[in-house]
Structure 1
Amino acid sequence: MKTVLYGGAFDPVHAGHVFVVHEALRLMTSSTLILIPTGLPNPNFDKHLSASDADRVAMLQLAFAGVPDVSISDFELSCEPRPSYFVDTLEGLRSSLGVDKPALLLGEDQLFSFPQWHRYQDILDQVELWFVPRAGRHRSGSPEIPARALFDINPFDSLSSTLIRNRLRQGLSVEGLVPPSVAGYIGQHGLYRGQ
């Protein structure tokens, strides 16, 4: 059985993430999927987390409650305070990945920055690389980064966690953009307001 690894900040998890997970499970038959929320971001990428680790995990649990074959790994969260490097995550998860080469699922934007990842060639040697296409991106056929598209068109292409955080800061609704349980959690805990 193939294991699919899908990492990200999930700050917050949104409808696009949910769609990608369901499509990965449907298209990559006989798979299990591990969600890996980012720990301390790599300092080489200008990324900051808004919600706490506990809140991001709780929202993932709500978004995927009752979805079979999906689990959440806190490996990167337990490695703080040092930056999360995926090559270390891969090594840490090795015993739980089964015998088949795991698939690593990335957004197409991450695919373009993949050569900047710490020891990216070591990662490529250990995974099958898949990506979620983005509109306006036309992936070059770079031979050093062999990757396959999960599907052709992403119906949630313009949706991002940044957009959701911005709407919440402005007091706007995020109905339909995040799962209802996640919207309830955000409201109950006052996340992303006034940041």
Structure 2
Amino acid sequence: MNKPPVVLLMGGSFDPVHNGHVAVAGYFIKLLAPDALRLVPAGDPWQKGALVAPAADRVAMLRLAFERQPVPVVIDEQEIRRSDGSYTVNTLRSLRAELGPDASLAWIMGADQLEKFDTWREWRSLFDLAHFCVASRPGYSLEQARLPAEVAKEFSRRLGSAAQMRDCAHGLTLFASNLSFDMSSTGLRAALARGERPAQALPPTVLDYIQQQHLYQS
């Protein structure tokens, strides 16, 4: 009898996708050894400002950035197609319906997102749908973080290992506190608008695509 699949999930605006996204995904791929990586570009992210690059270009950049991975990569466009806001709980419910109740789903998020996790729609229900992997800077800890008390309590009591995540469907948290990437899509857009070529921050194929399509120009 085949074991249920382990699927690593990464959502975001990816406006543009950068080396930090690729490195964080790569870290958790090595840690969890998933059967697949699923990328979920946002359609209308309600907690962020308007997106700059069209959806088709963000999807194309994701394909370029993640074209060489040790696991199959799927770009899930459901949030782009959705007419309402990009709420993670809706996305996870859709994925759970598609992949089944036994699949292990592990959602990657940044420590900055964790600090406002209690503002996510139906945030407590999210643990009934997936695990959560938090990528944080060196030295980061739940005790020192500026987290809402209920979020800190929930994430602390659910701490698990990569092996445990692989063996159950949802409900655990995992922290990687040795990741350090000082880059943001906002800063990269500003640099590109100034005519700079931030080659250290962007995959070469993505940078070439941005310049060929004249994206983020002022």
Task: Calculate the TM-score normalised by the size of structure 2.
Answer: 0.80
Residue type at the aligned position of 2:8: V
Which of 12, 21, 27 does residue 8 from structure 1 map onto? 12
Query: Is 1:169 the counterpart of 2:206 in the alignment?
Result: no
Instruction: Please state whether the residue corresponding to 1:76 is helix, strand or coil.
Output: helix
How many matched pairs?
A: 189
Determine the C-alpha separation between the residues in 2 that align with 1:111 and 1:31: 26
Identical pairs, percent: 36
Taking only aligned residues, the RMSD between alpha carbons, in angstroms, comes to 1.8
Which of 153, 161, 182 does residue 143 from structure 1 map onto? 153
For the 8 Å contact 1:3–1:97, the answer to whether it is kept is: no
Query: Is 1:153 the counterpart of 2:178 in the alignment?
Result: yes
Larger radius of gyration: 2
Determine the C-alpha separation between the residues in 1 that align with 2:134 and 2:31: 13
For the 8 Å contact 2:137–2:180, the answer to whether it is kept is: no
Which of 96, 99, 103 does residue 97 from structure 1 map onto? 99
Determine the C-alpha separation between the residues in 2 that align with 1:133 and 1:120: 20
Query: Is 1:107 the counterpart of 2:110 in the alignment?
Result: yes
For the 8 Å contact 2:13–2:51, the answer to whether it is kept is: yes
The answer for unaligned runs of 5 or more in structure 1 is: none
The answer for unaligned runs of 5 or more in structure 2 is: 144-150, 159-172
Instruction: Please state whether the residue corresponding to 2:116 is helix, strand or coil.
Output: helix
Instruction: Note closer, same or farther for the CA distance 1:49–1:137 as it changes in structure 2 (3 Å cut).
Output: farther
Residue 142 of structure 1 deviates from its aligned partner by 1.3
Which of 29, 33, 53 does residue 33 from structure 2 map onto? 29
- Name 2:206's counterpart in structure 1: 182
